[in-house]
Structure 1
Amino acid sequence: MKIPNYGDKYDAPALFSPEDAVDAHGGALPDMPKAVILGFEDELRSAAENRATESVNYVRSQELQLLDENVGFIGGFGIGPTVTGIVAENAIAAGAEVVCILCGCAGLQTDIPLTDAILPTRAIRDEGISYHYLPGDEQVESTPELTDHLDSALAAAGIETHRGPTWSMGAMYRETIPEIEHYANEGVLSLGMAEASLLAVAAYRGVDAGVVHQIGDYLTADEWVPNSDEQSTLPSMLDPTIEALRRYVS
């Protein structure tokens, strides 16, 4: 069975849009920063709250942390491709020109240290949301120039980086051994849930997008290896990501 189930929908109008959600606020929205970071983890959200100059509510009472004149952070909205696509749609409709996920991932290459950052260049589409935005034969990719900015900022902060594809799927308990072995052997660097969804939304809406991954655990065909460190290094990647986005949109 293919997705979407109903024919060619890509040029068809939707019944309602993210602009409708924005307009429902009657012009009471705050100015949306040009660049918005989306994050899932509690420790990253706490770091953003500590870094923020202001916290405001925007579309559907979603909280936005203003980190810089041109950079905001949205967290606390759940996890997975569906909700990520919705949040990204709302941010773009409200005025964001760049969207970037900063989040943990599963590492498929065990020679990449936990302290390094992975910068996915494209996402293998193994979820359902992206297929409602782009035909199945199209790749979903990060914006190369944005990835360059992220790479430079992370490197300047002393964080090693690795570029390559990520595998994007949301069925955590169906990450099967043959799949893990296949994608690892193909050189895929990481596994996440929401990357293909975000990149497809961004491509469909004509905005730039990027992804920064920090390894939370390793997946191999033989075992699952959780991160045994007491503290995640994800918050240390927040400031470099802000700097990269600030420079990119300036």
Structure 2
Amino acid sequence: MLLDEFEAVPAVIEPSHASDAIAGIGEICDTLIFSFNGEIVNRVKWMRDVYEGGYIKSLNGKHPWYILENEGQKLAVTLAPIGAPMAVGQLEELKVMGFKNFIVLGSCGVLDKSIEADKIILPSSALRDEGTSYHYAPASDEMAYDEHLLSTMETAFEKAGIEHIRTKTWTTDAFFRETADKVKRRLAAGATVVDMEASAIMAWAQFRQATVYQFFYTADYVDHHKNEWDTRHEERTSDVMTFFDVALAIAREVGKGKEC
């Protein structure tokens, strides 16, 4: 089976090879906020005293990050590409460039209707229904984040008074193939939300010994009872910068007083 071919050896192309083309391009901070929400990044870059710190490149063009200062701590913020292969690919290059702490945020779908829209989700583990993770870890049904890092996030949430739900997520490459029966099976396996990158990022973090703090905020509902999709647009009333504030709370906890 192709998915059983994980090898813990150097690859023909390593992230360090890519660094030869981007070395010296950019100001590096200890902590990078990796946001799947483009509106958050667009609003951050127009904040007072925020400036472009650098960029990485792909065939799609430049992928910049922006530097801001929050309570004496400089942070970088960049747009994360949707989908496990590109997200992990960019994290590979950003880590080689020198970023140490990665705070990852984005929306997720809901499989359990009791979870309301705009709730903060801490994905402690993930079902591996994507392809990228199998190149970073041996085949298995699930991946998980390091418990110490999860506890650090929960400490940040408690200090900031941020309510959250710790749960398992279902990471899938094919959001147009979330059938009713699949949803039922994923619920039976303990997953209450669905996303497209978490299990791959978990596997990458373990393989590269990277420090990753990831959270979601809930969006649509995949209704397996009626076999329909509820976008829940009217229920999603929170300003997206509310979720950026959650990322800042985590940044304060993991990088107190550290600057670029």
- Structure 1, unaligned stretches of length 5 or more? none
For 1:228, the aligned partner's letter is: H
1:92 and 2:95 are equivalent in the alignment? yes
Give the match for residue 101 of structure 1: 104
Q: Does the 8 A contact of 1:32 with 1:91 survive in 2? A: no
After superposition, give the CA deviation of every residue in 1:60-114 in whole Å (9 maximum; x if it has no partner): 2320122344532210x53101110111101111112222320011011211221
Q: CA deviation at 1:21?
A: 1.6
Distance 1:237 1:149 in 2: 17
The 1:40–1:128 alpha-carbon spacing in structure 2 relative to 1, beyond 3 Å, is same
SS in 2 for 1:16: coil
Normalised by the length of structure 2, the TM-score is: 0.84
- Structure 2, unaligned stretches of length 5 or more? none
After superposition, give the CA deviation of every residue in 1:209-235 in whole Å (9 maximum; x if it has no partner): 122111110112123211223645442
Give the match for residue 226 of structure 1: 231
The 1:138–1:37 alpha-carbon spacing in structure 2 relative to 1, beyond 3 Å, is farther
Q: CA deviation at 1:158?
A: 4.7
1:215 and 2:218 are equivalent in the alignment? yes
Give the match for residue 238 of structure 1: 244
Counting aligned pairs with the same residue, the percent is: 24
Distance 1:50 1:184 in 2: 41
Give the match for residue 165 of structure 1: 168
Segment of structure 1 superposing worse, 191-200 or 178-187:
178-187
Distance 2:136 2:78 in 1: 22
The 1:40–1:240 alpha-carbon spacing in structure 2 relative to 1, beyond 3 Å, is closer
SS in 2 for 1:191: strand
Hey, which bits of structure 1, 4+ residues long, moved more than 6 A?
Answer: none
SS in 1 for 2:102: strand
RMSD of equivalent CA atoms:
2.2
Residue-pair matches, total: 245
Distance 1:173 1:141 in 2: 25
Give the match for residue 21 of structure 1: 18
Q: CA deviation at 1:8?
A: 4.6
1:18-57 to 2 correspondences below 5 Å? 18-25=15-22, 27-51=23-47, 53-57=50-54
Q: Between Structure 1 and Structure 2, which shows a larger proportion of strand residues? A: 2
Distance 2:44 2:14 in 1: 29
Segment of structure 1 superposing worse, 164-173 or 225-234:
225-234
Distance 1:153 1:160 in 2: 11
For 1:165, the aligned partner's letter is: K
For 1:224, the aligned partner's letter is: W
Q: CA deviation at 1:174?
A: 0.9
Give the match for residue 66 of structure 2: 65
SS in 2 for 1:58: strand
Distance 2:178 2:116 in 1: 22
SS in 2 for 1:110: coil
For 1:249, the aligned partner's letter is: G
Distance 1:8 1:201 in 2: 12
Q: CA deviation at 1:138?
A: 7.8
Normalised by the length of structure 1, the TM-score is: 0.87
Q: CA deviation at 1:144?
A: 2.7
For 1:246, the aligned partner's letter is: R
